[in-house]
Amino acid sequence: MSFKEQIQRRRTFGIISHPDAGKTTLTEKLLLFGGAIQEAGAVKNNKIKKTATSDFMEIERQRGISVATSVLAFIYKDKKINILDTPGHKDFAEDTFRTLTAVDSVIVVVDVAKGVEEQTEKLVQVCRMRNIPMIVFINKLDREGKDAFDLLDDLEQKLGLSVTPLSFPIGMGYDFKGIYNIYEKNINLFSGDSKKNIEETIAFDSLESTELENIIGNKAAEELRDNLDLVNGVYPPFDKESYLKGQQQPVFFGSALNNFGVRELLDCFIEIAPSPRAKKAEERLVEANEKEMSGFVFKIHANMDPKHRDRLAFIKIVSGTFERNKPYLHVRNGKKMKFSSPNAFFAEKKEIVDISYPGDIVGLHDTGNFKIGDTLTEGEALHYKGIPSFSPEHFRYINNADPMKSKQLYKGIDQLMDEGVAQLFTLELNGRRVIGTVGALQFEVIQYRLEHEYGAKCTYENFPVYKACWVQAEDPKNDEFKEFKRVKQKFLAKDKRGQLVFLADSQFSLQMTQQKYPSVKLHFVSEFD
Ligand code: G4P
């Protein structure tokens, strides 16, 4: 197969949802279609449950499992599909944001009864900002839920999407009869025991056919015709170009648990979803079909086995082919590196591969050379954009609880921050270290890992911060900026990359500061133009 064909057959995507909407179940059904797993339940444990807050071993165990399921790859109808895991738990949202830099499209799963939920809103917003093509799957149609049109409204109003349904439910919950596939023009009937079988479909050239009444009954047939008339009147026809630009989002209905509507979703997905796209580096736009290899680190995972402390860095290949034992330039530190055992991921396994293509994820063993956002190339100094830090939600001073182990503590903090577990801010005034996290759970994870992996002990102390804002001075030499730095010295810190950050203690003080120093721009994200 040619290099070009290899690129065109790849689909690298993420499934995003609020916890419990059915992401894991859907992932599993997709893998079943690909023949990548033999039975249901194989990826079931792929989530970190909040109940485990105080049970560190449980967190570790679950993290261990999530390494194995970070990337799930399989072949379906000759397409190479890479699903990147995106933790739904909000404490790990930052991990998900970063993973979204490595996907070419996403599937959004929404619970039919709950509609759009908080975590869906946040994640979809990130995808919208980046114009990532999205398909929506409304799940759990076997249960009573909201009216289909209300749900479509919800998607438009709460998520700001421009939707068009490509399938439509016939009944719901107890009365759920099946799904009309607008894209393929056929009906898929639901029967209670379809759990393992792939349903047979009935093609309809015209919905006016009286055959419809025979199959789903008079009332349902009339309702379906009315609903489809409404769909035609209200929603624009599906337009692939608009979908690819992130301007239109097709919607499917189904039930992942009952394997219903999943094949329709997958068949449409492989046809319309993009193959690996060009990616913007700071220097230029890099096309997937360029000959020279380039890729970037979007995730680092610590090894859970205490005897092997090395980590696994996940690289998304953007262009060219990644080959085993070939030297590549680590752009940040200027070193050439060779990798003798790059891992590729298949279903739940990882194995050493000789060659990987754009869209693939390669896992590289790392002894501390990589940070999230690092770029590998064949020599060109490229820096991939789009892996920003977001303002954390929780902030605490971190103190050394064992003065004999300060070296271990600082090494540990350093490495955990490289992995992206949390963010470190060093105060300008006194050099004290402040840890910022998205969720409270991370403080416990950090404390536990410092002790068990680095032999260091830490304690925390409250530090009330409302938001961390990255500072951009219109003119670093002007008096206003000097004045800002002098007056706000107590609230200024450097992040890990050395960027200046203002730690606002309240929304009020943030507003006042913005008003008082208009030429000093404050951003909630570390990347800005
Ligand atoms: P998540 O990864 O998005 O967090 O969700 P997950 O797939 O784990 O699904 C959450 C719950 O919803 C699970 O039930 C799952 O069985 C159920 N579910 C998923 N799809 C459907 C569906 O189409 N219909 C119905 N009725 N339920 C669905 P659970 O009781 O929390 O877990 P389990 O005990 O079944 O594993």
241 has pLDDT over 70: yes
Instruction: Determine the Cα–Cα distance for residues 422 and 415; give it in Å rounded to an integer.
Output: 10
368 has pLDDT over 90: no
What's the mean pLDDT when you consider all of the chain? 87
Instruction: Determine the Cα–Cα distance for residues 516 and 475; give it in Å rounded to an integer.
Output: 15
Q: Give the list of residues 6+ apart from residue 53 with CB closer than 8 angstroms, or none.
A: 59, 441, 444
Average pLDDT of span 91-110:
88
CA geometry: angle at 449 spanning 444 and 453, to 5°? 165
- DSSP class of residue 116 equals S
CA of 27, closest atom in ligand 1: 7
| CA 230 from centre of chain | 34
Local confidence band at 103 (pLDDT 50, 70, 90 cut-offs): very high
Ligand 1 centroid distance, CA of 178 (Å): 20
Instruction: Determine the Cα–Cα distance for residues 464 and 167; give it in Å rounded to an integer.
Output: 49
CA distances from 451 to 154, 311, 422 (A): 46, 17, 16
Ligand 1 centroid distance, CA of 281 (Å): 39
433 has pLDDT over 90: yes
- Any known ligand binding at 21? yes
Q: Which of 194, 257, 259, 260 to mutate to test the pocket of ligand 1 (most atoms within 8 A of CB)?
A: 257
Instruction: Give the model confidence (pLDDT) of 41-80 as tens digits.
Output: 555 544 444 443 344 455 555 555 454 457 888 899 999 9
Ligand 1 centroid distance, CA of 19 (Å): 9
Q: How much is the pLDDT for 49?
A: 45
Number of Cβ within 10 Å of residue 393's Cβ equals 18
Q: How much is the pLDDT for 223?
A: 92
Instruction: Give the model confidence (pLDDT) of 9-38 as tens digits.
Output: 999 999 999 988 999 889 988 988 877 665
Q: How much is the pLDDT for 193?
A: 56
Predicted model pTM: 0.85
Q: Which of 16, 20, 31 to mutate to test the pocket of ligand 1 (most atoms within 8 A of CB)?
A: 20
304 has pLDDT over 60: no
Q: How much is the pLDDT for 47?
A: 47
Average pLDDT of span 255-260:
89
Ligand 1 centroid distance, CA of 21 (Å): 7
Ligand 1 centroid distance, CA of 386 (Å): 32
- Any known ligand binding at 414? no
288 has pLDDT over 90: yes
Local confidence band at 187 (pLDDT 50, 70, 90 cut-offs): confident
196 has pLDDT over 50: no
Average pLDDT of span 239-268:
93
Supply the residue whose CA is at minimum distance from atom 36 of ligand 1. Answer: 44
Q: How much is the pLDDT for 39?
A: 57
Instruction: Determine the Cα–Cα distance for residues 467 and 192; give it in Å rounded to an integer.
Output: 50
Task: Judge contact between 465 and 516, C-beta under 8 A.
Answer: no
Q: How much is the pLDDT for 331?
A: 96
Local confidence band at 194 (pLDDT 50, 70, 90 cut-offs): very low
Which of the residue ranges 63-67, 199-203, 438-442 would you say has the lowest mean pLDDT? 63-67
Tell me the three state secondary structure of residue 426.
strand
Q: How much is the pLDDT for 51?
A: 42
Local confidence band at 96 (pLDDT 50, 70, 90 cut-offs): confident
> Among 186-195, 265-274, 307-316, which range has the highest average pLDDT?
265-274
Local confidence band at 302 (pLDDT 50, 70, 90 cut-offs): confident
Domains of the chain: 3-173+236-277 (3.40.50.300), 280-377 (3.40.50.300), 394-523 (3.30.70.3280)
For 330-371, give the DSSP string: ETTTTEEE--S--EEEETTEEEE-SEE-TT-EEEEEESS---
Pairing of strands 343-346, 349-352: antiparallel
Which of the residue ranges 43-47, 274-278, 320-324 would you say has the lowest mean pLDDT? 43-47
Instruction: Determine the Cα–Cα distance for residues 332 and 313; give it in Å rounded to an integer.
Output: 15
Average pLDDT of span 80-89:
84
Q: How much is the pLDDT for 121?
A: 92
Tokens 């979803």 sit on residue: 273
Average pLDDT of span 519-529:
84
Task: Judge contact between 142 and 190, C-beta under 8 A.
Answer: yes
- Any known ligand binding at 88? yes
Tell which residue, 492, 385, 436, has the closest CA to residue 102.
Answer: 385
511 has pLDDT over 90: yes
Which residues approach ligand 1 with their CB closer than 6 A? 17, 19-25, 44, 47, 88, 139-140, 142-143, 255-258
